[in-house]
Amino acid sequence: MNNRASLLNGFSKLTREEKLEVIGGLFDNSDEAIEGFKSFEHPDEVIQEMISEFSENSISNFHLPYSVAPNFMINGKPYVVPMVIEESSVVAAASNAAKFWFSRGGFHAEIVDTQKVGQVHFIWKDDKETLIQRFDELKHYLISGTEDITENMRKRGGGVLDIELKDFSDQEEGLMQLFVTFETKDSMGANFVNSCLERFADLFKRWYASQSEFSGEGLEIVMCILSNLTPNCMVKCWVECEVKEFDNLVPGTDGADFARRFRTAVRIAQIDPYRATTHNKGIYNGIDAVVLASGNDFRAVEACGHAYASMNGGYSSLTDCQIDGDKFTFTLHLPIALGVVGGLTNLHPLVKLSMAMLGNPDARELMGIAAAAGLANNFGAVKSLVTTGIQQGHMKMHLFNIMKQLDVCNSEKDRVVEYFKDRSVSVSGVRKFVEELRMVQDAGCMNI
């Protein structure tokens, strides 16, 4: 495709067909490109229309595998966990770890709290002492002035929890903030939080203008927005067993030695941000897959976790490992704001199926499930890293991608899989084996 893109005025106003025509025109072979985009449309028009409406300017659908990881035991309850992810080894790693822990007490999950945060950022150029003195009155005015917005949430046990006044004027002249905490129960709550904040800003301006102690010229609202950093929306998830349970986890391993090496690997991620980043990425392999399958916002979830991982001043591991005598404990502490109502949850047909597969959990239960998937993936990754190395498992899964890339036909797949069962996999190795196979077989179904 040549670079034929130019300023496209009014593109969003075009129909989907018209958009496809325009985009097709950017390709050397527009008909083929348009057909390619159309071939991923859902055959059911109603479903297609609904999916298209999730985003502006959609011209096709982007498919990812919808997988399941069976054998998760979480707080004594078995689950098959839906996972949407493109990386070939993630679901295998989660499933293996889940099965290992299933008969060893499973995953334990505790919801520490579920608070959400929002902020009204403002510049204050008036009498600060008076604002501080009158703040309780202002707070009451703000909370009662949003009762119409918070009514339903309050009926569900949520609402505005508190409003604090924060002062950042030592870093930026006049900069202050209303720091608001919310309980949003089963919804992630983004729209609820932002609506309350924008109302607070209006009410704050009105209150300020009506107070004779102030000049009337000293309040500027800069912006109102939720914060994705929710350190009080927290799940703790852990697994535990005696170290001897790890005997022969990988053939030939001594359990105590495995536990020691595993703990050292976690320590490295606690000490070194380079390792911590990859370690935590492995945790989010599992979490994001569940977050996507449950129609939640994986960008928010990741941003929150990574910010939390840096809250002690340096970026560090989200998991911790302790060995106390013979007892091994592996724990994940994670802030994660998830919803089971609102957003995509009630719309996307596959999200509805995910929720049903999980037994229609509430938000707290879903937090535990996502955390268990994260801990399972972290366990699987660190286990491989300190034993066989990561490539063995990765490349085994990648073998199927390589075979696809090399157009290996069905009749030869079994031979390839068998051959690479205990050999290391590489693109060149697979290519060579397939070429040799073809020479012996003198059969021509490959194109490599």
Which one-letter amino acid corresponds to residue 309?
Answer: A
| CA dist., res. 335 & res. 307, Å (int) | 10
**Residue 283 to residues 30, 277, 316, 397, Cα–Cα distance (Å):** 41, 10, 13, 19
Instruction: For the CB of residue 330, give the shortest distance to ligand MEV in the complex, in Å.
Output: 13
Question: Which position among 139, 383, 394, 398 bears the catalytic label?
Answer: 394
Nearest to 121 by CA among 159, 158, 172, 190: 172
Q: Among residues 242 and 272, whose Cβ is nearest to ligand MEV?
A: 272
Instruction: For the CB of residue 183, give the shortest distance to ligand MEV in the complex, in Å.
Output: 34
87 is catalytic: yes
Residues contributing to the site for ligand MEV (CB under 6 A): 87, 278-279, 281-282, 285, 381-382, 385, 390
Instruction: For the CB of residue 388, give the shortest distance to ligand MEV in the complex, in Å.
Output: 12
Question: Which position among 297, 302, 365, 412 bears the catalytic label?
Answer: 297
Nearest to 349 by CA among 54, 69, 59: 54
Q: Among residues 103 and 278, whose Cβ is nearest to ligand MEV?
A: 278
To the nearest 10 degrees (0 to 180), the angle between helices 255-271 and 273-293 is 100
Q: Among residues 87 and 126, whose Cβ is nearest to ligand MEV?
A: 87
**Residue 369 to residues 28, 92, 307, Cα–Cα distance (Å):** 47, 17, 21
Full DSSP string of 174-185? TEEEEEEEEE-T
Token digits of residue 400: 């199927």
Q: Among residues 91 and 219, whose Cβ is nearest to ligand MEV?
A: 91
394 is catalytic: yes
Instruction: For the CB of residue 378, give the shortest distance to ligand MEV in the complex, in Å.
Output: 7
Token digits of residue 115: 């608070």
* Pairs from 193-199 (Cβ < 8 Å, separation ≥ 24): 193/116, 193/117, 193/118, 193/226, 194/118, 194/224, 194/225, 194/226, 195/149, 196/118, 196/146, 196/149, 196/150, 196/160, 197/118, 197/119, 197/120, 197/224, 197/225, 197/226, 198/224, 199/145, 199/146, 199/149
Nearest residue to ligand MEV, scored by beta-carbon proximity: 282
Q: Among residues 265 and 304, whose Cβ is nearest to ligand MEV?
A: 265
Instruction: For the CB of residue 392, give the shortest distance to ligand MEV in the complex, in Å.
Output: 12
| CA dist., res. 253 & res. 349, Å (int) | 45
Phi first, then psi: give them for residue 123, nearest 5 degrees.
-105, 130
Token digits of residue 428: 């060149």
Instruction: For the CB of residue 306, give the shortest distance to ligand MEV in the complex, in Å.
Output: 15
Question: Which position among 38, 41, 77, 87 bears the catalytic label?
Answer: 87
| Backbone Cα Rg of the chain | 27
Q: Among residues 192 and 238, whose Cβ is nearest to ligand MEV?
A: 238
245 is catalytic: no
- Say which residue the tokens 């089971």 belong to: 340
Q: Among residues 88 and 345, whose Cβ is nearest to ligand MEV?
A: 88
Instruction: For the CB of residue 149, give the shortest distance to ligand MEV in the complex, in Å.
Output: 41
Question: Which position among 38, 128, 281, 396 bears the catalytic label?
Answer: 281
| CA dist., res. 424 & res. 417, Å (int) | 11
| CA dist., res. 176 & res. 214, Å (int) | 16
Active site (catalytic) residues: 87, 281, 297, 394
